[in-house]
Amino acid sequence: MAKRRLTDQQKRRIASNKNSLSKLQNSKDASSGNRVFNGLVVSHHGRKLVVETEDNKRYDCKLRQNLGDIACGDSVVIQIDKKDHGVVVAVNERKNLLEKTGFAGLAKTVAANIGQVVIVCSVEPEPNDYLIDRYLTAAENLPAEALIVINKIDLLNNENKLVIDTIKETYKNIGYRLIETSIKKDAGLNELKEALQNTTSILVGLSGVGKSSLVKMLLPDIDIRIGEISTASKEGKHTTTVSSLYHLPDGGALIDSPGVRDFTPWNRDKEDIVNGFIELKPYQGHCKFSNCTHTTEPGCAITEALEKGELSQQRVNSFKKMLEDLEDQSR
């Protein structure tokens, strides 16, 4: 998978933040009694952050100006004064940054340093394959692993079985892992827990597919954890509506938030879309025309592969629709 291209602003910020911790430890602020730590953003609410340090202590922190957007999952440098008041003074280099389409079509920060995108769909409501493909595109461009969870398999019957079987066949054929789960039948839950170990995962998917039930299963004491974050952030119970990172009992971490779970992934350009469809990559650059749009041109390698049965019609349809959507956004 290709590594996400950084913007000039991100490159400048990364360069300026290199060795931030060692520099700050030797600064006047540190010598005057302020302590300096690396930490992990575990909750984000406006300009207030809860940051967890390596010794598992949590501090309510404000955000220094001119640091840009900070996301849940970011590694940061904080200064703590004698009263345990914290300030985020630098953002360490990111592994990746997940973004969504925000106001006026601009990119909005969702979460940082993601190892795995867990795409949750369900038997009912019926899976939206185009949205699944958009999430997969986002995962490929981070880059991060992608896992598809088909939830509520206890609702499987003769009427919807064909749809679910088609979904399973389509994505397994191109190499993606699928797990079928059911809270009611206690099916696939241990497999899901195992898949979340040793990485930081984020759950995405449409409303109504059972994400909240899965989160409560994965984090049986989530209400207690939310209370701890509320106490640290001094924001009260409505902190449940902000992005939060939780350490899973069996290892790994989970970033959860209503704004994270259900969103429209962001594609910057055509290259993002091409990079997001792993099975189409072998055909790129083999079209008759170098500027082929893969729609009506003769000699299109993707169209020919589709006619030979080498590609999924549904996936090619999603690919073309994303290109159309991107063109509409640029108008």
Q: What is the CATH number of the domain that holds 256?
A: 3.40.50.300
User: Which CATH number covers residue 34?
Assistant: 2.40.50.140
Domain residue limits at 27: 8-91
Confidence class for position 35, pLDDT limits 50, 70, 90: very high
Q: Does a structural domain hold residue 160?
A: yes
What are 169-193's pLDDT values in tens digits?
Answer: 999 999 999 999 999 999 999 999 9
In a domain, 180, yes or no: yes
Residues 239 and 275 in one domain: no
Query: pTM, whole model, 2 decimals?
Result: 0.84
pLDDT tens by residue, 241-291: 567 899 999 999 999 865 555 567 777 788 899 899 999 989 988 999 988
Tell me the CA distances in angstroms from 152 to 98, 157, 164, 167, one per residue in order.
27, 11, 11, 15
Residue 112 and residue 237 in one domain: yes
Same domain, 245 and 156: yes
Q: Do 225 and 309 reside in the same domain of the chain?
A: no
- Distance in Å from the first CA to the final CA of the chain: 29
Given the structure tokens 């640029």, which residue do they identify?
A: 330
Pick the last residue of a domain from 217, 232, 261. Answer: 261
* Other CB atoms within 10 Å distance of the CB of residue 102: 14
Q: Is residue 22 part of a domain?
A: yes
Mean pLDDT calculated for residue range 86-104:
89
Q: Tell me how far apart the alpha carbons of residues 103 and 50 are, in angstroms, rounded to a whole number.
A: 25
Q: Which pLDDT value is given to residue 135?
A: 93
For residue 286, tell me if it sits in a domain: yes
CB–CB of 320/131 below 8 Å? no
Residue 63 falls inside a structural domain = yes
pLDDT for residue 329 is more than 90: no
Residue 123 pLDDT greater than 90, yes or no: yes
pLDDT of residue 292: 87
In this prediction, residue 232 carries a pLDDT of 53
Bigger pLDDT: 212 vs 181: 181
Q: Are residues 12 and 35 in the same domain?
A: yes
Residues 257 and 160 in one domain: yes
Helix (H) or strand (E) holding 2: none
Does residue 98 fall inside a structural domain? Answer: no
pLDDT higher than threshold 90 for residue 46: no
Q: Is there a single domain that holds both residue 318 and residue 178?
A: no
- pLDDT category, 206, cuts 50, 70, 90? confident
Q: In total, how many domains does the chain have?
A: 3
Residue 121 shares a structural domain with residue 227: yes
Same domain, 284 and 191: no
Does one domain contain both 246 and 280?
no
Examine the fold and report which residue of 227, 261, 295 is the final residue of a domain before the chain moves on: 261
* DSSP letter assigned to residue 257: -
Q: Rounded distance, CA 292 to CA 279, Å? A: 18
Query: What is the domain-level CATH number for residue 299?
Result: 1.10.40.50
68 against 174, higher pLDDT = 174
Q: Which of 238, 261, 284 is the last residue of a domain?
A: 261
**pLDDT value, residue 108:** 81
Give the closest residue to 97 by CA, choosing from 152, 51, 144: 144
Q: Are 278 and 253 within one domain?
A: no
Residue 224 exposed, middle or buried by CB count within 10 Å (0-12, 13-18, 19+):
exposed
- On whether the CB atoms of residues 305 and 323 are closer than 8 A, the answer is no
* Angstrom distance (rounded) from CA 74 to CA 249: 21
Output the six-digit token pair for 150: 């088909």
For 97-100, the CB contacts below 8 A with 24+ separation are 97/4, 97/71, 97/142, 98/71, 98/138, 98/142, 98/202, 99/265, 99/266, 100/263, 100/264, 100/265, 100/266
pLDDT value at residue 245: 94
- On the question of pLDDT at 238 being above 50, the answer is no
> Average pLDDT, stretch 131-153?
95
Please give the pLDDT value at position 99: 86
Shared domain check, 79 and 55: yes
